[in-house]
Chain A
Amino acid sequence: MTDIFVNIPEGHTIICGWNNHAMQIVKELEAAGHPVVIVCAKRPEELRNSTRAVIEGDCADDATLIKAGVMTAVSAIILAEDVGRLPVDTVDARSILTALAVEQLHPEIYSVLEILNPDNLRHASNANVDNVVLCEQLIAHFLALCASQRGISGFASDIFSHSDNRSSLNTLELGPEWNDKTTGEVFAAIRAQGDLPLAIMRRGEDEEREEWLHEINPPADTPVVLPMKVIYIACEKK
């Protein structure tokens, strides 16, 4: 399918770049109900016979991003491309350039950036990226968790995945009706639906980035002050 026939949905997530786990990300987002538009240099082999929206071009190029509907997108994921073929810092530099272009075109977009070298975090922060994922660190922590806490991997994989149709980790933005109530009341309402509340999130002080700070298992008498989100596990309904 050529670019001129691509139908760009609104409120979508743009995936910039392609790597080994990109296809799984697409599946996860679609399972969570998020339409996806992919931007990459060449149509990936896995999407050759797919009707998913793919824009071919340079991810850091304004025209390509506009064509992918960056102005109406709610979030963007910038993937680390060519890992193993290029030096780690070069991969990170290219990802940060893309993030910079995305944030400049649409500062309100929620951007998620994959970084390989933690030393490059400061550059990502300068580009006003909302969320940085340190790939190697994340996998290392997950491996250590699996080895030190026997049998936990199935539990962890279950809550992180939306596409398995079982339980999953979710966030809920509290509406004005909850203002001046307590987190105990919010948690009780979530429990009544058969789900498991875990934590609350408040906005960070950095105005330029959409940063959220979490508090696990807060005291029940903590007052709700908007904006606030609740993290909960949407449990498998049998």
Chain B
Amino acid sequence: MAQNYSKRVKGLKRGTKYASKLHKYFIWILLAFVILVFGSTYLYWKLERGGQGNLLEALWTILFTLIGQGEFANHPQTTVGRVIVFVLSVVGISLLGVVLSEVLARVMKYNLKAMMGLNRCKYEGHTILCGWNSRAELVLKELIASGTQVAVLTKTKPAELSHYDVFFVAGEPTSVERLEQAGIEKAESAIIFAERGEGLSADEIDAHTVLTTLAIEKRRPEIYTVIELLNPANERHARRTGVDDIVFCERTLADIVAACASQQGISSFISDILSYSDDGSALRAADIDPQWNGKTVGELFNAMIADGELPLGIMTPDENADTERWNHEINPPADRVISLPMRVVFISRNAK
């Protein structure tokens, strides 16, 4: 029995060895197959057909010969033709089998790695979501609605991800290797969620969020980072990492709930301007084009109103900040001269 087992193990080892050899020499095998098919096509066209008809028809005949079908496969006219049929029937079909099995193996391997979050993201200008919580799916939906590609980096794959066309990377968001796998070099922005864990206090959750931000900003300071903090007292730690934007969930929620009670009826308007996935309107910010440099804000706003947009204000970079921070001015004077870089804040309709 032991001998039998040993034989099997040896057989498996041999199989693995051959598979890895096949993997290594796949390009050469593929090349041999292509040369065989096209060489046979040329010889068939030149010798069997005497150069009559077109080469595409000859290629079709050779492909059918490869699987034993067609007139040529059964009745080759010349000696060279008979050799071609013989070689294609023995060597060609074997090579085709090898090529097909390797292609299938590669596709399966890629899909398996994608499922396990082991692939490398090739997106450009995308947003990386680090961590996952109850709000993350809604954020994902909004980003997709705004036309942004998304990569998700979490320890375990959330079940909800199967409904969306996103890139998944499995791993700890503080790991530089995993961040690189999520395509941090070419990402436009990153959102770091406050990941709640059992028994973790708000400060402990914030500490983990800050560590992730630190890893991201250290690896690529130009990326635009948005983080979710639970305790506003931790802002000073977050600012030291070079984070661009901090969202205090509880404070934002409080401001909006209070606005809903004090300005009765305003809630539908607020929900509307915050959402991209509905068929209403949304708040947006865009860089002002160089063509407007030296013109006035009034001219820009009039052009936007003519396009059906509602301009609200402008944003200028904060010169004193180490990170990308913008100062805003709501309803600026119409005679303010545009001096780039400048951004405009406006409300416009969502694409349907």
A192 interfacial contact with B, CB 8 Å: no
Q: Cβ of A201 and Cβ of B265 under 8 Å apart?
A: yes
Q: Cβ of A169 and Cβ of B251 under 8 Å apart?
A: no
Chain A residue nearest in CB terms to B332 = A235
Which of B146, B264, B271, B283 is the one whose CB lies under 8 Å from A152? B283
Tell whether A160 pairs with B283 under 8 Å between CB atoms, given A13-B261, A150-B224.
no
Q: Is the interface of A mostly helix, strand, loop or mixed?
A: mixed
Binds A, one of B10-18, B131-139, B167-175, B288-296: B131-139
Q: Cβ of B264 and Cβ of A75 under 8 Å apart?
A: yes
B275 interfacial contact with A, CB 8 Å: yes
Chain A interface residue count, CB cutoff 8 Å, equals 73
B176 interfacial contact with A, CB 8 Å: no
Q: Cβ of B257 and Cβ of A77 under 8 Å apart?
A: yes
Q: Cβ of B261 and Cβ of A29 under 8 Å apart?
A: yes
Q: Cβ of A171 and Cβ of B266 under 8 Å apart?
A: yes
Cβ contacts under 8 Å, A114 to chain B = 257
Which of A147, A162, A210 is the one whose CB lies under 8 Å from B143? A147
A89 interfacial contact with B, CB 8 Å: no
A151 interfacial contact with B, CB 8 Å: yes
Q: Cβ of B249 and Cβ of A235 under 8 Å apart?
A: no
Which of B135, B142, B255 is the one whose CB lies under 8 Å from A160? B255
Chain B interface residue count, CB cutoff 8 Å, equals 72
Chain B residue nearest in CB terms to A170 = B263
Q: Which of B252-305 contact A (CB under 8 A)?
A: 252-276, 280-285
Tell whether A214 pairs with B272 under 8 Å between CB atoms, given A147-B224, A151-B285.
yes
A154 interfacial contact with B, CB 8 Å: yes
Interface contacts (Cβ under 8 Å), in number, total: 239
Q: Which of B184-202 contact A (CB under 8 A)?
A: 189-191, 196
User: A50 to chain B: closest CB distance in Å?
Assistant: 17
User: B216 to chain A: closest CB distance in Å?
Assistant: 13
Cβ contacts under 8 Å, A5 to chain B = none
Q: How many angstroms between the C-alpha atoms of A149 and B256 in the bound complex?
A: 19
Cβ contacts under 8 Å, A20 to chain B = 250
Q: Cβ of A144 and Cβ of B143 under 8 Å apart?
A: yes
Q: How many angstroms between the C-alpha atoms of A55 and B148 in the bound complex?
A: 48
Binds B, one of A38-46, A59-67, A96-104, A135-143: A135-143
Tell whether A229 pairs with B330 under 8 Å between CB atoms, given A136-B135, A142-B252, A156-B283.
no
Chain B residue nearest in CB terms to A152 = B285
A153 interfacial contact with B, CB 8 Å: yes
Q: Cβ of A32 and Cβ of B269 under 8 Å apart?
A: no
Q: Cβ of B253 and Cβ of A135 under 8 Å apart?
A: yes
Q: How many angstroms between the C-alpha atoms of A75 and B224 in the bound complex?
A: 40
Cβ contacts under 8 Å, B224 to chain A = 147, 150
B215 interfacial contact with A, CB 8 Å: no
- Cβ proximity bits A153-176 to B, threshold 8 Å, 1 near / 0 not: 111111111100001011100000
* A-B residue pairs, 8 tightest by C-beta: A212-B265, A140-B138, A151-B326, A24-B254, A28-B258, A144-B142, A21-B254, A21-B250
Partner-B contacts on A (CB < 8 A)? 13, 20-25, 28-29, 32, 34, 75-77, 79, 84, 110, 112, 114, 130-133, 135-162, 167, 169-171, 194-196, 198-199, 201, 210-214, 216-217, 229, 231, 233, 235-236
19 pairs of residues in contact across A and B, judged by CB atoms under 8 Å: A21-B253, A21-B254, A21-B257, A28-B254, A110-B264, A131-B261, A138-B256, A141-B142, A144-B138, A144-B139, A148-B148, A154-B325, A156-B283, A162-B258, A167-B330, A198-B347, A212-B264, A212-B266, A213-B268
